[in-house]
């Protein structure tokens, strides 16, 4: 029995829709995973994520949870699901991205990375083995291999050196992961078949393909990673400041050669346009902080382009954020009221707009799935782009 069950149900060009079943939930793909950095999708109650937004999987950040409140605390309290009160699936990242982007004074060696906590400067050490141990203690459904996340502006030689290190770390990640699964270290262990599906109750492990903007290095990383063998494959190191065309080119070169029978996850991407373009190139899973991060500063995603609710133009605007949105925020509140909440610095403003933005992202993925199923993804993609661009002009 596999830890996840993955089935492609319909294809339209390279785009595909299917179901991913973990030990805790059935997830329709392409899927957008809201980011729950510190055990919370910022400003959004889990009740809303379940009932109204119907999110089936969220992302948790290993680095943040390890540093605060700490894996020991979460472990004592029965694992991450029980601690945060979320029974559906969780994907945890490896902690690598935060180790490399948040902390100062990093020292990267073959063993792992030495760095200082961004909270109090404590000296810490992270390795593939430690990342696997933390993710087992958190008890997520999908565990990510520990990779090096080099900055986007590195040269070819550096990127090549980095992807070789990532490949060696991927091997060590898998080895430690298997040991932990065999010893039952996963705190949130779920009985096989408890959600009615033929999945094993173990965690799943995804490998990460690196290689920057160099398509030949991406191929090399792909071969190395697939050679080790994972339950799913992620594409990392994109959306780090490169041109959009570079991201699309990398996707076009990588996704057709990724295993057909495993889910494909594009990490940390992106705007609504990025999601559609990546789906058209065969990607199945996404996560991004944009809906909640932009929501906190008044940035709104709509089917007719993006807007900032703080603009004076919305002072007397009685219309909803997005007339085509069926969310409870759009059903009830006007742009004028939401603008007022921001200008008065009321906490309800960011809460409501984060909610709407997540509804927009999750709703978009639902439309994408329907379009692929109907064999109408291309016209959908075209209309979507036109309507979003119309408002921008
Ligand atoms: Zn809405």
pLDDT digits (tens, 9 = 90+) for 219-236: 999 999 999 999 999 999
Would you state the pLDDT for residue 105? 67
Are 286 and 378 in contact, with CB atoms under 8 Å apart? no
Q: Are strands 232-235 and 264-266 parallel, antiparallel or unpaired?
A: parallel
**348 alpha carbon – ligand 1 mean position (Å):** 15
**Tens digit of pLDDT per residue, the chain (393 long)?**
899 999 999 999 999 999 999 999 999 999 999 999 999 999 999 999 999 999 999 999 999 999 999 999 999 999 999 999 999 999 999 998 888 887 666 889 999 999 988 888 899 999 999 999 999 999 999 999 999 988 878 899 999 999 999 999 999 999 999 999 999 888 777 888 777 788 888 999 999 999 999 999 999 999 999 999 999 999 998 888 888 899 999 999 999 999 999 999 999 999 999 999 999 999 999 999 999 999 999 999 999 999 999 999 999 999 999 999 999 999 999 999 999 999 999 999 999 999 999 999 999 999 999 999 999 999 999 999 999 988 655
Task: Give the relative orientation of helices 156-183 and 215-228 as an angle to the nearest 10 degrees.
Answer: 20
**13 alpha carbon – ligand 1 mean position (Å):** 30
pTM for the model stands at 0.97
**345 alpha carbon – ligand 1 mean position (Å):** 20
**42 alpha carbon – ligand 1 mean position (Å):** 17
- Residues contacting residue 184 through CB under 8 Å, at least 6 positions apart: none
Would you state the pLDDT for residue 96? 85
2-40 per-residue burial string, b: 16 or more CB within 10 A, e: under 16? ebbbbeeeeebeebbbbebbbbbbbbebbbbbbbbbebb
**11 alpha carbon – ligand 1 mean position (Å):** 29
CA distances (Å), origin 387, targets 304, 384, 391: 5, 5, 7
**181 alpha carbon – ligand 1 mean position (Å):** 41
**340 alpha carbon – ligand 1 mean position (Å):** 17
Would you state the pLDDT for residue 103? 66
Would you state the pLDDT for residue 198? 81
Q: Rounded to 5 degrees, what are φ and ψ at 372?
A: -65, -45
Would you state the pLDDT for residue 193? 76
Would you state the pLDDT for residue 47? 97
Q: Which of 12, 93, 147, 231 is catalytic?
A: 93
Would you state the pLDDT for residue 196? 76
**334 alpha carbon – ligand 1 mean position (Å):** 11
C-alpha 388: how far from chain center: 23
Would you state the pLDDT for residue 392? 57
Would you state the pLDDT for residue 390? 81
C-alpha 219: how far from chain center: 22
CA distances (Å), origin 350, targets 42, 214, 269, 309, 316: 9, 39, 21, 10, 19
**265 alpha carbon – ligand 1 mean position (Å):** 26
Would you state the pLDDT for residue 186? 86
pLDDT tens-digit series, residues 159-174 = 999 999 999 999 999 9
93 is catalytic: yes
User: Could you tell me the domains of the chain?
Assistant: 5-287 (3.20.20.105), 295-392 (no CATH)
Q: Which of 231, 274, 284, 287 is catalytic?
A: 287
- Residues contacting residue 23 through CB under 8 Å, at least 6 positions apart: 3, 141, 190, 192, 194, 195, 197, 199, 200, 201, 202
């Amino acid at each position: 029995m596999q830890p996840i069950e993955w089935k492609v149900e319909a294809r339209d060009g390279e785009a595909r829709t299917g179901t991913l079943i973990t030990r805790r939930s059935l997830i329709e793909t392409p899927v957008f995973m809201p980011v729950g950095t510190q055990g919370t999708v910022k400003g959004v109650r889990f009740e809303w994520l379940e009932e109204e937004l119907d999110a089936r999987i969220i992302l948790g950040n290993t680095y943040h949870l390890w540093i605060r409140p700490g894996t020991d605390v979460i472990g004592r309290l029965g694992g991450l699901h029980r601690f945060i009160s979320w029974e559906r699936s969780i994907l945890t990242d490896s902690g690598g991205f935060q180790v490399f982007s948040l902390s100062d004074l990093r020292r990267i060696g073959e063993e792992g990375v030495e760095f200082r906590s961004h909270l109090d400067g404590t000296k810490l050490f992270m390795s593939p083995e430690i990342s696997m141990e933390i993710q087992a203690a958190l008890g997520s459904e999908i565990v990510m291999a520990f990779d090096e996340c080099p900055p986007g502006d590195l040269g070819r030689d550096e990127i090549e050196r980095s992807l070789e290190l990532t490949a060696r770390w991927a091997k060590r990640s898998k080895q430690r992961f298997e040991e932990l699964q065999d010893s039952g270290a996963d705190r949130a262990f779920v009985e096989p078949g408890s959600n009615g599906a033929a999945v094993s109750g173990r965690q799943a492990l995804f490998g990460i393909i690196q290689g920057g903007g160099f398509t030949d290095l991406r191929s090399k990383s792909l071969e190395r990673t697939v050679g080790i063998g994972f339950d799913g494959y992620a594409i990392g190191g994109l959306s780090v400041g490169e041109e959009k065309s570079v991201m699309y080119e990398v996707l076009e070169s990588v996704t057709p050669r990724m295993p057909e029978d495993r889910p494909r996850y594009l990490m940390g991407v992106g705007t609504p346009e990025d999601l559609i373009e990546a789906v058209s190139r065969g990607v199945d899973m996404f996560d991004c902080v944009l809906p909640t991060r932009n929501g906190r500063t008044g940035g709104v995603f709509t089917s007719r382009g993006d807007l900032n609710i703080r603009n004076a133009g919305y002072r007397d605007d009685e219309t909803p954020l997005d007339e085509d949105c069926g969310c409870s925020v759009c059903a009830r509140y006007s742009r004028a009221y939401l603008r007022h909440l921001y200008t008065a610095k009321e906490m309800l403003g960011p809460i409501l707009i984060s909610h709407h933005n997540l509804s927009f992202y999750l709703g978009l993925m639902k439309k994408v799935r329907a379009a692929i199923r109907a064999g109408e993804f291309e016209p959908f993609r075209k209309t979507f782009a036109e309507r979003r661009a119309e408002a921008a002009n």
